[in-house]
Amino acid sequence: ITKGSIGVVEFLLGSGLAGMLYSILCGQPMAFLAPTGLTLAFISGLFRFCTIRELPFFPVYSWVGIWTSAFMTLLGLSGSSKLIRFCTTFTDEVFNGMLSVNFIYEAFSSLRRNFVNADPMNLSMPFVALSMALGTFLTTMNVIKFESSKFFNSKVRKVIKNFGPVSVIMLFTLLNLHPWAQKFNA
């Protein structure tokens, strides 16, 4: 996403240190802090913005963090937390919807890039990527629908519905890493 500017280790280390500082300084040691899809989407968008504007990523990312800290401190000192009662589950669903649209756009963009950058004489890699994407999607949808089927008892169906999508994604990831699928990347 950031073309090697921020690695997984650096991100986790930075998030972990910031989370520990937050827990110590805010008096909320049990607060759950973790990088989320929204954080990933923001960093991806900020990196893309910096690349288009030819701005250095790390200084911009640092200034975004400093300004966010300043605003959060100001909001905390002004007692703005009482406004949280106006946030409803609708607000949460809107953010989840926007995040979903972003990930769907990125997936289609990646598939499109595969076809555009492919050798016109050998389109096997883009079609394998498309097959993997469609296979993941269709299998996941069938696993989710499994809860309303007549197979097994309701407890087993619910477990399959809850853990099935992650299992399908892991299965297709392993399938993609298999030497059979890797030969199409050449």
57 neighbors 47 (Cβ within 8 angstroms): yes
Looking at residue 33, the DSSP 8-state letter turns out to be: -
Task: Judge contact between 1 and 44, C-beta under 8 A.
Answer: yes
Beta carbons of 136 and 168 less than 8 angstroms apart: yes
Alpha helices, DSSP H, located in the chain: 8-26, 37-53, 57-77, 89-117, 124-145, 154-177, 179-182
- In the structure encoding, which two tokens stand for residue 93, read together? 């669903």
pTM of the model: 0.59
Query: Does the pLDDT at position 33 exceed 80?
Result: no
pLDDT, tens digit (0-9, with 9 covering 90-100), for 39-70:
777 888 889 899 999 999 889 989 998 998 89
Average pLDDT, the chain: 82
Q: Which residues contact 118 (CB under 8 A, 6 or more apart)?
A: 125, 126
pLDDT tens-digit map of 113-123: 988 988 888 88
Can you tell me the distance from the alpha carbon of 123 to that of 119, in angstroms, rounded to the nearest whole number? Answer: 6
Mind listing the pLDDT tens digit for each residue in 61-97?
A: 899 989 988 998 898 888 887 887 777 778 778 877 8
